[in-house]
Amino acid sequence: MSAELLHRGTLAANDATHNLVDVRGLRVVGSRPGEADTTIVHDIDFEIARGEVLALIGESGSGKTTIALSLMGHARSGCRITGGSIRIGDTDVRSLSAKGLEGLRGRRVAYIAQSAAAAFNQSRAIMDQVIESAMIHGTLSKRDAQAKAVELFRALALPEPETIGRRYPHQVSGGQLQRLMAAMALITDPELVILDEPTTALDVTTQIDVLQAFRRVIRQYGMTAVYVSHDLAVVAQMADRIVVLSDGQIREVGATEQILHAPRHPYTQSLVAAVQPVVSACASAAQADGPAPLLEVRRMTAGYGRKSAKGWPEKIILNDVDLTIRRGQTVGVIGESGSGKTTLAKVIAGLMPMAGGQLLLDGEPLSGNLSRRTREQFRRIQIVFQNADTALNPVHSVERTLARPLKFYHGLKGEKARRRVAELLELVRLPASCAQRSTGELSGGQKQRVNLARALAAEPDLILCDEVMSALDTVVGAAILDLLRELQQKLGVSYLFITHDIAKVRAISDDIVVMYAGHRVETGDRAALSAPPFHPYSHLLVSSAPELRAGWLDEASERCHQTLTPIGASDDNPELCTFLPRCPMRIDGVCNRTAPAKRTLANGAQVLCHRSEEELERFQTTPRDEDAAARAPVF
C-alpha cells in the first residue's frame, strides 16, 4: 500500500467532517421461537472516511458480515437491529421506510458477495444482469448503462470487454465471474461498496488478479469501501484501517501497518500468529525403506465422458499420475482448481473409476470399482469432504451421524455406541454435549470436526482430506491443522492432504505433489518445496500466496503476471508440457516441440521441465525490480 494512501486514510479518519459512514452503538440480536434474544453485535462504534477502505476482520461468528449488512439497513433471517444509529452521509439508515431502503440498496450502497455463482441467473446474459441495477434505479439509459458496463469490464481487466457481456455466467471462469459481480455492484456509482469475503473461494493465482482489479477500480473511482474478511494477509493489500472483531465486539481498531506489525490486543495477536501455520517439528513415522507402502498409485489415468475405441475417456482429468503414501505419513497435493486434485481423491476412494493404471493397498491390488471393494477396504480408506455443510445432514444429531459408521463397520449399538461417540468427540476436541445437537446448529469449525470424527469412526488407515480448511477462517483452520497433526501422532493414521494453500501444505506434509492440468509436475519432501529451485508452476503457486505486509500485491503482480515471451506454434502433441502457455521460462523450439523429461534436483525434488536446475534457481531468485535484462532467464 502506498504512503499516499496511508496518509490519506489517517487524515480522513481524524477529520470527522470527511466521514461518509458513522455508526454509533449498533446492536443486533438474534431470536428463535420460544427462546430469549441473543445479542450478536454489542454496541459497535466506528466511522469510515470518504475514499477510505475499512476492513472488518475476525473469525466466523465474530459479527463482521452482520455489521456490514447493517450498513444497508439489512439483518439476516432471525436477526434484527435493535439499537444504535447508522448514517450514510446525511441519511439516517434506521429511519428509512421500506421504499427508502430500496432506494439505498444497490444505488448508494452496493454489495459484492462471496459467491458470484449464487449472485447470477445462469439463464440470462451477463450484460442484462450487470446493468439491471441501473435500470431499476433509473440512473442511466440502457445504452449508457451498457457503455458504462464495458468501461467497468475494461477497468476490471476482464477479457474481451466489448463482448464478454453477451456470454452467460457458466461460460466464464470463477475469477471472471467475481469481477463481473463487482461491475454489477459499481454500475450505479455507489457511495459505499461492501466486499464480503470476495476472494475466499478462489485459487491463490486467481486471487491476485481479482484483488488487483478490485483495488485498481477502488482507486480509480475514489470509492469508499468496507472489506470483510478473515484473512489478514489479503486485508493488508486492500485496507487503510482495520477493525478487529470477536464475539460481536470490537477488540482493536488501527491503521493497517499498526495492526499487522504491532497488534495490541491478544486476540489480534492470535490472528496475526495464525496467518502462517507452524511447521510441525515432529518426525514422520514413515520411512523410505521397510514394509510396502500403505498406498501406491501407479500411472493412474482418469476422466469423464464417452470412451474411445482404446478405452480412454473423452475428457482426461488425470494423466499418468504416480503417488506413494506410507504408514503414518502425510502426502500433500497442491494445485489450482482443475488440476485434478479432487479427482485423484475420488479415484482412490472408489467414487470414480480409473481409465488406466493401478492402485495398491499394502502391496495388494485395490479395485478402482467401488462395487468390487470389500467392507474392510471401505473401512481402511475414508474421505473428508471440503464442505461440511453439504456432507452432513443438518437435521440429524451428531450422535446419529457418528453412530452410523460405528454400526456399519464395527457392529456397535446402544450404550457401546454412545460411549464410542463420546470418545470420538473427545478426540476431535468437541464437548460431549454436542452429541445431542443437530449438525445444522454447529459452527463451521465444529461441523468440520464432526466430519473428521465420522471418518475416524471407521478406524481407517488413510484419510483423504479434500480442501478441509478452505471454507474455514484463519484461526479455526489453524486449529483443525493442529488437530490433524495430533490425531496422526495418537493413531498413526496417514493423510492425503489436498489444498491450494502452499503454507498449509508445507505445515502438515512430509511429501508434496504439485499437480497441473492432471499431470504431476513436481514431487519432493517438505524441505525441497520450501526454497527454490522449483518447477515454474510451483514457483507461481509459491509467489501467489499472500504475505502479511502491505505492498506485496504490487510486487506479486509484477512477479507472477509478466507479459510472456513469444513462442512458436505448438505441434499439438498431447505429451507436451501442460504449463507451456503460462510458463515465463518456456523455450521456443524446445518446450513447444518435445515432451519434458523428469529431472531430479539436488534437493531430491523431481520436476517435469526442460530447464536445468541452475536456470530455474537463477530465474526464481533474481529480484524482480531490476532492469529487463537482469530479469530475463539465462539460457
Pairing of strands 295-307, 356-361: antiparallel
Cα dist from 491 to 290, 430, 460, 624, 635, whole Å: 20, 18, 9, 46, 49
Asked which of 459, 488, 505 is the last residue of a domain, the reply is 505
| Percent above pLDDT 70 for the chain | 91
Report the chain's mean pLDDT, rounded to a whole number: 88
* 323-369 per-position pLDDT tens digit: 999 999 999 999 988 899 999 999 999 999 899 999 999 999 999 88
For 482-504, write each residue's pLDDT tens digit. 999 999 999 999 999 999 888 88
Judged against a pLDDT cut of 90, whether residue 200 lies above it is answered with no
Do residues 490 and 584 share a domain? no
Residue, of 303 and 194, whose pLDDT is higher? 194
Considering only residues 570 and 605, tell me which one the structure prediction assigns the higher pLDDT. 605
Q: Is the separation of the CB atoms in 451 and 388 below 8 Å?
A: yes
If you search the block for the grid coordinates 454500475, which residue do you land on?
187
* 361-416 per-position pLDDT tens digit: 999 999 988 889 999 999 999 999 888 888 999 999 999 999 999 999 999 999 99
What lies within 8 Å, CB to CB, of 417 at 6+ separation is 403, 406, 407
**Do residues 491 and 549 both lie within one domain?**
no
Q: Is the dihedral of CA 379, 381, 384, 385 positive or negative?
A: negative
CA 621 from centre of chain: 27
What is the model's pLDDT at position 53? 96
Query: Which residues form the domain of 325?
Result: 295-505
Do 541 and 462 fall into the same domain?
Answer: no
Bridge partners for 495 per DSSP: 330, 463
Tell which wins on pLDDT, 15 or 148: 148
Say what the pLDDT of residue 277 is.
Answer: 62
546 in the same domain as 500: no
Under 8 Å between Cβ of 486 and 424: no
User: Beta-carbon neighbour count of residue 444 at 10 Å?
Assistant: 18
User: Are 496 and 596 in a shared domain?
Assistant: no
Look at residue 561 and tell me whether its pLDDT is greater than 70.
no
Q: What's the DSSP call for residue 76?
A: -
Mapping DSSP onto H, E and C, the string for 506-573 reads HHHCCEEEEEECCEEEEEEECCHHHCCCCCHHHHHHHHHCCCCCCCHHHHHHHHHCCCCCCCCCCCCC
Q: Whole-angstrom Cα distance, residue 193 to residue 545?
A: 26
The verdict on residue 277 lying in a domain is no
21 close to 249: Cβ distance less than 8 angstroms: no
Q: Please report which residue ranges of 350-457 form alpha helices under DSSP H.
A: 375-380, 388-391, 398-410, 414-427, 444-456
Do 355 and 299 share a structural domain? yes
Does residue 547 sit within a domain? yes
Q: Most confidently modeled of 105-109, 197-201, 217-221? A: 105-109
Asked, for residue 179, whether it belongs to a domain, the answer is no
Q: Distance between CA 180 and CA 152 in Å, rounded?
A: 9
87 pLDDT tier (thresholds 50, 70, 90) = very high
The C-alpha cell 460411549 sits at 419
Q: What is the pLDDT of residue 497?
A: 97
Between 364 and 304, name the one with better pLDDT: 364
- Of 29, 483, 515, 171, nearest to 318 (Cα)? 515
Over pLDDT 90: what percentage of the chain? 64
Q: Which residue has the higher pLDDT, 563 or 162?
A: 162
Region 594-622: what's the mean pLDDT? 92
In this prediction, residue 472 carries a pLDDT of: 79
Indicate the SS3 state at residue 191.
Answer: coil
User: The C-alpha cell of 253 is what?
Assistant: 481498531
Indicate if 432 and 565 belong to the same structural domain.
no
> Predicted confidence band at 114 (pLDDT cuts at 50, 70, 90)?
confident
Cα-based distances in Å from 232 to 6, 275, 474: 17, 7, 9
In a domain, 437, yes or no: yes
CA dist 460 and 457 (Å) reads: 8
Cβ-count burial 596-631 (b if 16+ within 10 Å, e if not): beebebebebbbbbbbebebbbebbeeeeeeeeeeb
Mark whether 501 and 540 lie in a shared domain. Answer: no
Structure-model confidence comparison of residues 311 and 360, the more confident one: 360
pLDDT at 207: 87
What's the maximum distance between 2 C-alpha atoms anywhere in the chain? 74
Residues 329, 478 share a domain: yes
Q: What's the whole-number mean pLDDT along residues 573-584?
A: 87
List the single range of 5-19, 236-250, 451-465, 512-526 with lowest mean pLDDT. Answer: 5-19
pLDDT value for 509 = 95
**Nearest C-alpha neighbor of 179 from the set 160, 193, 199:** 199
Domains in the chain: how many in total? 2
The C-alpha cell of 60 is what? 466466523
Residue 201 corresponds to which cell in the numbers above? 473461494
Q: Please, are residues 562 and 625 in contact by the beta-carbon 8 Å criterion?
A: no
Residue type, position 396, single letter: H
Pair 307, 455 in one domain? yes
